[in-house]
Amino acid sequence: MSPSTSTGRSTTPRRRPEGGAPAGGASSAARPSSGGRPSAGKARSKSTNQSRAKSASRRDDRRGFRSENGSATASNFAPKKPSIIPIEVGPDNGFVKIGVPANLAGILAATGVTEPFSIQSVTLPDSLAGRDVLGQGRTGSGKTLAFALPLIARLAATKVGRQANRPRALILVPTRELATQVAAVIDPLATACGLRVITVFGGVGHGPQRDGLRAGAEIVVACPGRLVDHMGEGDAKLDRIEITIIDEADHMADQGFLPMVKRILDATPKVGQRMLFSATLAGGVDAIVSRYLDNPVSHAAEVEAPVLLDHSVLVIEDADRLEAVAELARKERVVIFTRTKHRAKQMAAKLQTFGINAVDMHGNLSQTARERNLAAFASGSASALVATDIAPLVVHADPPIEHKAYTHRSGRTARAGAAGRVITVASTSQVSEVKQLLQKAGVTATWTGIDVSNMTGRPSGRSAGRGGVRADGRQGGRPGARSGTARGNGGRPRR
């Protein structure tokens, strides 16, 4: 902005003399040391303001807000162009054959997906017909598309006006990362049909989510805890929900989310379609099915571990555990699982001392740190991801206590028909419990390392390291420490 714009006075533009110093007139004479240039403070202030404006613009772009007269408005989303251009498909397309609308099948075909996976083949005919569906399939079997396609098809078929704070479809998931993944799968399909998708989860501020709900979105992908918060504040009203989907229901049951899930479902209309997808049907999952699903049709596909998934157990002395894990991480990109958040942070740091660029992933990290670490692992700049919950190789640095946890974690590899390997690192004192774990998971593994053919006794009563398990089944470590909760969290599961 020129001086005349701000003051209304005519000002002669300054010219830069041949010597390089700008002509400053009286102003420059008064400040010879600066050569007539603006002060450093003003220059820094201008640069800072420009930087802040650019950052705000990028932030608003990520949130989907349109800028009007230079200011972002939460009530107006920028019209999104389809990120994937659909191609024409014929009646021989695998998805069209089972009733998927041709426009949605065309979007999938544009990404190279033309034939449904097993869980999709068995559930889609019923879910597209509007029936309540209970789908059981292992992690990575294609469950997301199995519920995304009928959800989009139903909403697109009925042209209903968008309302603030009142979505039409709800997808409940247990973790932030899964919410982001599910939204990424649904978004191209929704955008092509003129529908909006937003995610709601903890670890980030309420503001952008509140603005998104008020702006109106047909589909909400949410973690239960944060959604309950928005319901309490009046920002999420579920009286218009037409279709509700619960993904990874067994995982949510294990993490203690079911009371919140019931509270959410109680707020939705009793009429409407409901679908539940899960790897197992244990714990409180049956209670959800019997109470909220109306005469559901049940389908199971690819429940057993895939044949392309190679399981093995590496038996070592407990003192050699870290070195063994580091050696595995040197060979290829690897996801490493531990039992506790502290252990994940500790192992990532120790792997760095072995020259391995490792990042951690657990509930104590901020959402920004989680996204940064995931991006580092996805790009290859980090070769190891140490987590408490997709790579060619999954390593259980600490054998999980529950066989369901083993199944979920192992599902981070061998996805979409690809091959993968799962290695469990066990000390000699953990051999018995690992054998029981694999038996319950229905897995046959190859045993390597120390010979365990003659080991038939029970694990010793001492914990195998800080994250070990005692003979009585309780987790070792600091006396009085609680398992599975965040310190100062009142025992509530982290959302």
Overall size of the chain counted in residues: 495
Residue spans of the domains in the chain: they are: 116-301, 309-449
Average the pLDDT over 40-63 and give the result.
45
Long-range pairs for 292-298 at CB < 8 Å and ≥24 separation?
Answer: 292/265, 293/132, 293/134, 294/132, 295/131, 295/132, 296/131, 296/132, 296/133, 296/134, 297/126, 297/131, 297/132, 297/133, 297/134, 298/133, 298/134, 298/135, 298/136
To 10 degrees, the CA torsion angle through 466, 467, 468, 470?
80
Q: Write the DSSP string, 375-410.
A: HHHHHTS-SEEEE----SEEEESS--SSHHHHHHHH
* 295 neighbors 124 (Cβ within 8 angstroms): no
CA 210 to CA 458: how far, in whole Å? 53
| Beta strand pairing call for 71-77 and 243-247 | unpaired
370 has pLDDT over 60 = yes
Q: How far is CA 230 from CA 73, 237, 264, 413, 491, in A?
A: 20, 9, 11, 34, 21
Least confident of 41-55, 326-340, 397-411: 41-55
CATH superfamily assigned to domain 116-301: P-loop containing nucleotide triphosphate hydrolases (3.40.50.300)
CA 289 to CA 133: how far, in whole Å? 10
Task: Name, in order, each residue with C-beta under 8 angstroms of 38's C-beta and a sequence gap of 6 or more.
Answer: 46
Q: Which two tokens stand for residue 341?
A: 């958040």
Q: Name the architecture of domain 309-449.
A: 3-Layer(aba) Sandwich (3.40)
Average the pLDDT over 261-274 and give the result.
94
Taking only the tens place, the pLDDT of each residue in 442-482 is 888 888 888 877 765 444 333 333 333 333 333 334 333 43
Across 30-39, 98-107, 421-430, 441-450, the highest mean pLDDT is recorded for 98-107
DSSP designation for 493: P
Same fold, 116-301 and 309-449: yes
At 24 the pLDDT is 41
109 has pLDDT over 80 = yes
Longest CA span, the chain: 96
Q: Which two tokens stand for residue 184?
A: 């990424």
66 has pLDDT over 50 = no
364 has pLDDT over 50 = yes
Q: Which two tokens stand for residue 380?
A: 């290859």
253 has pLDDT over 60 = yes
Taking only the tens place, the pLDDT of each residue in 158-207 is 878 899 999 999 999 988 888 988 999 999 999 999 999 999 998 888 99
* Backbone φ and ψ of 454, nearest 5°: -100, 10
At 130 the pLDDT is 95
* Backbone φ and ψ of 79, nearest 5°: -65, 125
Q: How far is CA 143 from CA 127, 182, 205, 215, in A?
A: 12, 10, 29, 29
Q: How far is CA 84 from CA 104, 143, 221, in A?
A: 11, 21, 21
Q: Which two tokens stand for residue 386?
A: 């140490």
CA 394 to CA 443: how far, in whole Å? 15
| Number of other CB atoms surrounding residue 232 within 10 Å | 9
356 has pLDDT over 80 = yes
